[in-house]
């Protein structure tokens, strides 16, 4: 008797993970979600194909054939980070998930990594899959350790591994980032202060595009090699100044945009080459402008 197929998601109650779970459920796919501290952004979802578990030992996990395991759980950058906090949350947890993946004989392991594995390049560049990594934060470092760990630990297993390095992702339910900051300020009509005089480029990715890419990796597994790295992003990069102008215009705000001579640690341009994902996965993301329109529509729907 063959087991019922399912998709397993860690981080499924969070920002990107919950959007992925909702999309999978819309396709009538059975989704197993690890419930860490409640149901998060899935709290209002009632679906017979949504199955929660809160322990790696639960028998419910052994009742399914796991097509793909999505690992989107992570400790995000903190105000007062310690290496131990990031290591335990990002690396130690992943070692446990890897052992579970081996036991369940999952067919594919997709990991949500970050563009923070690249930080402060010596000169302006366009980031791609071959760009030298240079993590300068505990967050970026531990995410990169996990990338390497997955290749080492699953090398001898019949599990396809895909790493997705996300830029800043925004959309419904996101709690951090310049998109939310600019929207909140514009909505109140407050001044918007733009660091680096607003000249730095950013690649901001709407969560719908992020989810679409994750799904295409699953559907295109047969075309992938044993270990793949993909850079994710929107279809374009835009200066921070122009991003703020678009938000103010869309909100019909009277906020003043004030470029200033203050420079954050991430004072470099983020331009991303997503041609590998476009070529192999037929990935077609939103532009930043279209993503902002979608985001602002969703925000006003909540009011």
Residues pairing with 51 in the sheet: 32
Dig out the tokens for 14 from the structure: 């969070």
Ranges under pLDDT 50 in the chain: 1
Residue 140 counted as domain residue? yes
Domain limits for position 220 = 4-172+203-236+270-286
Residue 245 counted as domain residue? no
Counting the structural domains of the chain, the total is: 1
Residue 138 counted as domain residue? yes
| Residues counted in the chain | 303
pLDDT tens, 11-50? 999 999 999 999 999 999 999 999 887 888 998 889 999 9
What gap in Å lies between CA 240 and CA 196, rounded to an integer?
A: 9
pTM for the whole structure: 0.94
Provide the CATH number for the domain around residue 125: 3.40.50.720
Q: Taking the CA atoms of the chain, what radius of gyration do you get in angstroms?
A: 20
Residue 303 counted as domain residue? no
DSSP helix/strand/coil, 63: helix
Q: Report which of 235, 237, 255 is spatially closest to residue 245, judged by C-alpha positions.
A: 255
Residue 26 counted as domain residue? yes
C-alpha distances in Å from residue 7, one per residue of 33, 69, 213, 264? 9, 6, 16, 39
Residue 249 counted as domain residue? no
Report pLDDT for 1: 47
Strands 168-170 and 160-166 turn out to be unpaired
DSSP helix/strand/coil, 140: helix
CB atoms < 10 A from the CB of 233, how many? 29
Residue 57 counted as domain residue? yes
Sign of the four-CA dihedral 104, 110, 116, 118: positive
Sign of the four-CA dihedral 81, 83, 84, 88: positive
What gap in Å lies between CA 108 and CA 265, rounded to an integer?
A: 36
Residue 207 counted as domain residue? yes
Dig out the tokens for 157 from the structure: 């297993």
Report pLDDT for 294: 96
Which residues, including other chains, have CB under 8 Å from residue 26's CB and lie 6 or more apart? Answer: none
Dig out the tokens for 25 from the structure: 């459920």
Which residues, including other chains, have CB under 8 Å from residue 30's CB and lie 6 or more apart? Answer: 4, 5, 6, 7, 49, 51, 64
């Amino acid at each position: 008797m063959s087991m019922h197929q399912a998709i397993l998601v860690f981080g499924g109650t969070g920002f990107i993970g919950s959007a992925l779970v909702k999309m999978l459920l819309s396709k009538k796919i059975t989704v197993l979600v690890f419930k860490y501290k409640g149901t998060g952004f899935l709290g209002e979802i009632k679906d017979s194909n949504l199955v929660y578990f809160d322990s790696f030992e639960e028998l419910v996990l052994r009742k399914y054939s796991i097509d793909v395991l999505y690992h989107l759980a992570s400790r995000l950058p903190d105000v007062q980070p310690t290496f131990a906090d990031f290591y335990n949350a990002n690396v130690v947890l992943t070692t446990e998930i890897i052992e579970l993946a081996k036991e369940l004989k999952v067919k594919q392991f997709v990991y949500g990594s970050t563009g923070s594995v690249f930080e402060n390049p010596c000169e302006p560049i366009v980031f791609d899959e071959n760009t030298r990594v240079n993590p300068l934060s505990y967050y970026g470092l531990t995410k990169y350790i996990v990338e390497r760990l997955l290749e080492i630990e699953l090398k001898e297993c019949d599990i396809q591994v895909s790493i997705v390095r996300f830029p800043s992702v925004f959309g419904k339910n996101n709690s951090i980032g310049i998109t939310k900051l600019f929207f909140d300020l514009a909505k109140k009509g407050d001044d918007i202060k733009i660091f680096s005089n607003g000249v730095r480029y950013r690649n901001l990715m709407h969560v719908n595009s992020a989810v679409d890419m994750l799904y295409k990796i699953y559907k295109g597994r047969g075309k992938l090699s044993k270990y793949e790295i993909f850079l994710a992003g929107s279809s374009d990069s835009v200066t921070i100044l122009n991003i703020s102008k678009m938000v103010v215009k869309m909100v019909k705000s009277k906020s003043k945009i004030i470029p200033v001579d203050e420079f954050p640690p991430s004072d470099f341009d983020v331009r991303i080459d997503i041609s590998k994902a476009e070529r192999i996965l037929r990935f077609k993301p939103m532009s930043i402008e279209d993503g902002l329109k979608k985001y602002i529509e969703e925000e006003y729907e909540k009011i």
